[in-house]
Amino acid sequence: MPGSGHPLYLFLCVWSAVALGVSAEEHCPARQHEDQSYVAAVYEHHSILSPDPLALVSRTQALEVMNRNLDVYEEQVMLAAQQAAQIIVFPEDGIHGFNFTRTSIYPFLDFMPDPQLVQWSPCLEPHRFNDTEVLQRLSCMAIKGDMFLVANLGTKQPCHSSDPGCPSDGRYQFNTNVVFSSNGSLVARYRKHNLYFEAAFDSPAQADHTVFDTPFAGRFGIFTCFDILFLEPAVRLLVQDAAVRHVVYPTAWMNQLPLLAAIQIQSAFAVAFGINLLAANIHHPTLGMTGSGIHTPLKSFWHHDTEGSHGRLLVAPIARNPPGLPGIKNDPGEGDPAHRKFLKVLAGGPPCDQAVREDSCDPSWQAKAPLVFHAEMMYDNFTLVPVWGMEGSVQVCAGSLCCYLRYQRPTLTQELYALGVFEGLHTVHGTYYLQVCALVKCGGLGFDSCGQEVTEAEGLFEFYLWGNFSSSYIFPLFLTSGMTLERPDQLGWEEEHYFLRKKSLTSGLVTAALYGRLYERD
Ligand SMILES: *[C@@H]1O[C@H](CO)[C@@H](O)[C@H](O)[C@H]1NC(C)=O
Ligand SMILES: *[C@@H]1O[C@H](CO)[C@@H](O)[C@H](O)[C@H]1NC(C)=O
Ligand SMILES: *[C@@H]1O[C@H](CO)[C@@H](O)[C@H](O)[C@H]1NC(C)=O
Ligand SMILES: *[C@@H]1O[C@H](CO)[C@@H](O)[C@H](O)[C@H]1NC(C)=O
Ligand SMILES: *[C@@H]1O[C@H](CO)[C@@H](O)[C@H](O)[C@H]1NC(C)=O
C-alpha cells in the first residue's frame, strides 16, 4: 500500500471508501487507510493450451507451453505491482491447461515438498529439488512484484507400495494451489479435494485445511473451484477458524445459469460467510469459462466477458476486516411497515377467511389460487408457481421446504417470472443435496421455459424471499441483467425461516435464490 504521500494513495483510498460504502472523508485521512485495507489483485487468464492434451510430450515441451503462460503471469504481476497490489491470485489450470489423462499430464507436473516440513524459496535455491521449474518462476515473480502470489499447478509426490492409498504408478498427482510470500518463500500449498471429473489427478486422503498469514491482512484460507460447494474443506475451514477473513480461490468454473454462474456463487460465498473472496477464473468463453472477482460481503468488483479472448487484471483495495450485511438482529426495522408485515406473516398470521381480526391477516395470500407446475432447472425437477401482477404473495412447497415470496413491482414487463422450490439430491455433474428457493426469470412465456439460461431481464422487484430451511448453510444467489451483481439489503434467520430482502434493484432481476446445502445428506 502506498503511503499517504504517494499519488496513488488518494485515488485508491476514495475508491475503497466507495467499495466499503463509507465516507471518503472519514476513511481516507493519513495512515488510517493503510491500517484498514489492503490491495488485492486477481487475474482472469486466457490460458495457452497444449495443442493435444492427450499426447505424451517431453518435460521440455511441457515447459515450453507452461512458460508461455508464466510469461503472461509475470507481466500481470508487474502491472499489479504498479497498482500497489499486495496479493495476486491466478486461476486453476492457468499454467498447464486441462483435458489431460493421468499419463499425459505427467511431464507438466512439478515436484513439491510439504512447505510445513521444508523452508524453501525456489527462486533463491533453485537446485534444491529437481522438476521445480514452475515453482521457481512463480517464486521469482513474487519477489519481483514484492507481493504474495497464489497460483495453481499440477504436482507429483512419489509414494511407496506400503502406503495403501499409493496409486499403482508409484506417485500421487495433485491439482495444487501454491502460495508464495513476497520474499519468494513457499508458505502454503493446498491440494484440491473435490475433483471435478479430473482423471489426471488424485484427491488427498485427508482434506487439506490450509491457511496462511499475511502481514497486511491477517489470515487467509484457500481452496479450489468445485470445493466451494462442499463442507470439506471450504466450509469447515471457515467454521473452525474464525481468524480466516479472506479466501483465495483459483477456479476453472463453467457458468451454469440461472443458479451457478461463476461470479454468482463467488459473491454468494463472500456474503454468506462475511469474508473477502479473491476469485480468479480462467477465460475460455467457448467452454463457458469466465467470471472472476474481488468479492467483499458488501460489494464485488467483477469481470465476466463471453466475447473476447483476452485476460483481465482486477485490482481493488478492500477491507482487512470485512463488515457483513445487516441481518435482522442488528436492524430490526422498527417502524418499517413492510418489515412489520413480514414479521406478522412469519408469525403465522392466518389467511383472511379464517382471521378473527382483519389487521392480523394478509388478504393477498389466498387471493389467487396457486397454479403449480414443474420445470427442469439445472437438471433438477423444480416445483414452481408463476409470479404475476404488480404485487402479491406466493408460496410453493416440495419435500420439507416451503418457499415464500412477497413482492411489489413498479411496472409490469413482458416477461414471465416464477418462484421455484427444490429439495433433493442433485446428481448431474456432481452429487450434492440441495434445498433451494429461487425467484427466476423464465426463458420465455411458457412454464416449461422456467429454469432456462437467461442473462437479460427488465423486471424490477421489491421483495422478501424466505423459506423454512433445515440447512444452516444458505448461499444468497443474486444476479441481475447483463451479468451484474447486487447485494441483498438484509439476510438472516427469523422465526426458523431464512430470508432475503431487497428494496430496490437497479437493473432487471435474473435470479434471486436461497441456495441451501445439506452436506450431511450428500
Ligand atoms: C475438453 O473436454 C471437454 C469435455 O470433454 C470438451 O468439451 C472440450 O472441447 C475440451 N477442450 C479442449 C480445449 O480440448
Ligand atoms: C536431480 O536429478 C539428477 C539427474 O537425474 C540427479 O543426479 C540428482 O541427484 C537429482 N537431484 C536431486 C536433489 O534429487
Ligand atoms: C519470508 O516470508 C515468510 C512469510 O511471510 C517468513 O516466514 C520468512 O521468515 C521470510 N523469510 C525470509 C528469509 O525473510
Ligand atoms: C417432477 O416431479 C413431479 C412431482 O413429483 C412429477 O409429477 C413429474 O413427473 C416430475 N417431472 C419430471 C420431468 O421428472
Ligand atoms: C416447512 O413448512 C411446511 C409447511 O408448514 C411444513 O410442512 C414442513 O414440515 C416445514 N419444514 C420444516 C423443516 O420445518
- pLDDT tens digits for range 285-303: 999 999 999 999 999 999 9
Q: Look up residue 49 and give its three cell numbers.
A: 493450451
Residue 4: pLDDT over 70? no
- The runs of H, that is alpha helices, within 363-476 are 364-367
Which pLDDT does position 311 carry in this prediction? 97
Cell 469459462 sits at which residue? 289
Say whether both 169 and 302 belong to one domain. Answer: yes
- Cα–Cα–Cα angle for 432, 188, 213, rounded to 5 degrees: 100
Q: Is residue 19 part of a domain?
A: no
Say whether both 349 and 311 belong to one domain. Answer: no
Taking the model in full, what pTM does it have?
A: 0.91
Strand partners, 281: 251
Q: Residue 428: which of 383, 474, 376, 378 has the closest Cα?
A: 378
Which pLDDT does position 144 carry in this prediction? 98
CA separation for the pair 478, 259 (Å, rounded)? 8
Q: Is residue 198 part of a domain?
A: yes
140 is catalytic: no
Give the whole-number percent of the chain exceeding pLDDT 70: 87
Span from the CA of 468 to the centroid of ligand 5 (angstroms): 6
- CATH number of the domain where residue 241 is located: 3.60.110.10
373 lines ligand 4 (CB under 6 A): no
Cell 502470489 sits at which residue? 149
CA separation for the pair 438, 225 (Å, rounded)? 23
Give the mean model confidence (pLDDT) for residues 9-27: 57
Q: What would the DSSP string read from start to end of 193-252?
A: SS-SS-TT-PPPSS----EEEETTTEEEEE--GGGGGSIIIIIHHHHH-TTEEEEEEEE-
Say whether both 300 and 416 belong to one domain. Answer: no
424 lines ligand 4 (CB under 6 A): no
Which pLDDT does position 343 carry in this prediction? 79
Say whether both 343 and 300 belong to one domain. Answer: no
Band of residue 361 on the pLDDT scale cut at 50, 70, 90:
low
Q: Whose CA is nearest to atom 10 of ligand 1?
A: 99
Give the mean model confidence (pLDDT) for residues 351-369: 52
Average pLDDT, rounded, for the chain: 91
Amino acid at the residue 431: T
Say whether both 43 and 185 belong to one domain. Answer: yes
Band of residue 348 on the pLDDT scale cut at 50, 70, 90:
low
Say whether both 292 and 350 belong to one domain. Answer: no
Element (H, E) at 111: strand 110-111
CA separation for the pair 122, 139 (Å, rounded)? 6
Amino acid at the residue 256: Q
Cell 490491495 sits at which residue? 39
Which is more confidently placed, 415 or 334? 415
3-state SS, residue 266: helix
Which pLDDT does position 332 carry in this prediction? 52
Which pLDDT does position 323 carry in this prediction? 86
Which pLDDT does position 398 carry in this prediction? 96
Which is more confidently placed, 5 or 382? 382
Say whether both 378 and 279 belong to one domain. Answer: no
* Interstrand relation of 87-89 and 148-158 (parallel, antiparallel or unpaired): parallel
Q: Is residue 413 part of a domain?
A: yes
Which pLDDT does position 119 carry in this prediction? 97
CA separation for the pair 312, 89 (Å, rounded)? 12
List Cα–Cα distances, 431 to 60, 226, 315, 379, 473, in angstroms: 39, 11, 35, 12, 17
Q: Look up residue 320 and give its three cell numbers.
A: 482487512
Q: What is the dihedral sign for C-alpha 289, 293, 296, 298?
A: negative
Residue 425: pLDDT over 60? yes
Which pLDDT does position 340 carry in this prediction? 78
Q: Is residue 495 part of a domain?
A: yes
Q: Is residue 187 part of a domain?
A: yes
Query: What is the total count of domains within the chain?
Result: 2
Span from the CA of 181 to the centroid of ligand 3 (angstroms): 7
361 is catalytic: no
3-state SS, residue 8: helix
Q: 233-247, 320-334, 458-472: lowest mean pLDDT where?
A: 320-334
Q: Is residue 28 part of a domain?
A: no
Say whether both 360 and 451 belong to one domain. Answer: yes
Q: Whose CA is nearest to atom 7 of ligand 1?
A: 287
DSSP state of 521: G
Which pLDDT does position 339 carry in this prediction? 81
Range of the domain at 81: 37-319
Q: Is residue 224 part of a domain?
A: yes
Say whether both 302 and 341 belong to one domain. Answer: no
Which pLDDT does position 324 carry in this prediction? 77
List Cα–Cα distances, 10 to 3, 145, 508, in angstroms: 10, 22, 34
Which pLDDT does position 59 carry in this prediction? 98
Which pLDDT does position 33 carry in this prediction? 46
Task: Tell which of 293, 319, 345 closes a domain.
Answer: 319
List Cα–Cα distances, 88 to 22, 197, 203, 247, 443, in angstroms: 25, 27, 25, 12, 38
Which pLDDT does position 169 carry in this prediction? 96
Cβ neighbours for 141, distance < 8 A, ≥ 6 positions apart = 70, 73, 74, 77, 149, 180
Q: Is residue 2 part of a domain?
A: no
Ligand nearest to the CA of 142: 3
Say whether both 58 and 121 belong to one domain. Answer: yes
Task: Tell which of 286, 319, 352 closes a domain.
Answer: 319
13 is catalytic: no
> Which atom of ligand 4 is nearest the CA belonging to 381?
1
Task: Tell which of 292, 319, 346 closes a domain.
Answer: 319
Say whether both 161 and 308 belong to one domain. Answer: yes
Give the mean model confidence (pLDDT) for residues 397-415: 95
Which pLDDT does position 30 carry in this prediction? 41
Which pLDDT does position 330 carry in this prediction? 46
Q: Look up residue 442 and give its three cell numbers.
A: 423464465
Q: Which letter, b or e, does each residue of 427-444 get, where b requires 16 or more Cβ atoms within 10 Å of its Cβ?
A: eeeeebbbbbbbbbbbbe
Residue 23: pLDDT over 90? no
Q: Whose CA is nearest to atom 1 of ligand 4?
A: 381
Strand partners, 500: 465, 491
CA separation for the pair 26, 65 (Å, rounded)? 49
How many residues are listed for the chain in this entry? Answer: 522
Give the whole-number percent of the chain exceeding pLDDT 90: 83
DSSP state of 359: G
Say whether both 305 and 371 belong to one domain. Answer: no
CA separation for the pair 475, 463 (Å, rounded)? 17
